[in-house]
Amino acid sequence: MSLQATHTNAIAHVRTISLFSGCGGSDLALRRLGYDVVWANDISEIACDTYRDNIGPVVESGGIEDFGQFPTAEFLVGCYPCQGFTQGGRRKAGDSMNYLYQHFDRVLRAVSPKAFVVENVNGMAFGENRQLLDNQLCRYRMAGYRVNWHVLDAKHYGVAQTRRRVFIVGVRSDLDFEYVFPAPLYGAETRRDPVSQKAVLDGLPNWPEGEFNDEPFHWYYLSRRRRHDWSEPSPCIVGHWRHVPLHPMSPPLKRIHTDKWVFARKGRARRLAYRECAALQGFPRSFVWKRGSVRDRFQMIGNAVPPPLFRAVVSNLAELW
Given 23, 48, 79, 82, the catalytic residue: 82
φ, ψ of residue 148 in degrees (nearest 5): -125, 155
Helical pair 130-142 and 101-111, crossing angle rounded to 10 deg: 10
Residue 25 CA to residue 89 CA, distance in Å, equals: 20
3-class DSSP state of 225 = coil
d(CA 194, CA 182): 16
3-state secondary structure of 152: strand
Taking only Cα atoms into account, the Rg of the chain, rounded to an integer number of angstroms, comes to 20
Helices 294-303 and 45-54: crossing angle in degrees, nearest 10, is: 70
Closest Cα to residue 79, out of 314, 236, 260? 314
82 is catalytic: yes
Write the CA distances from 233 to 117, 142, 186, 213, 271, integer angstroms. Answer: 26, 39, 11, 21, 15
**Nearest residue to 247 via CA among 229, 265, 225:** 229
Rounded Cα gap, residues 273 and 249, in angstroms: 12
DSSP 85: G
Using alpha carbons only, give the angle 157, 101, 298 rounded to the nearest 5 degrees: 55
Q: What are the residue numbers of the active site?
A: 82
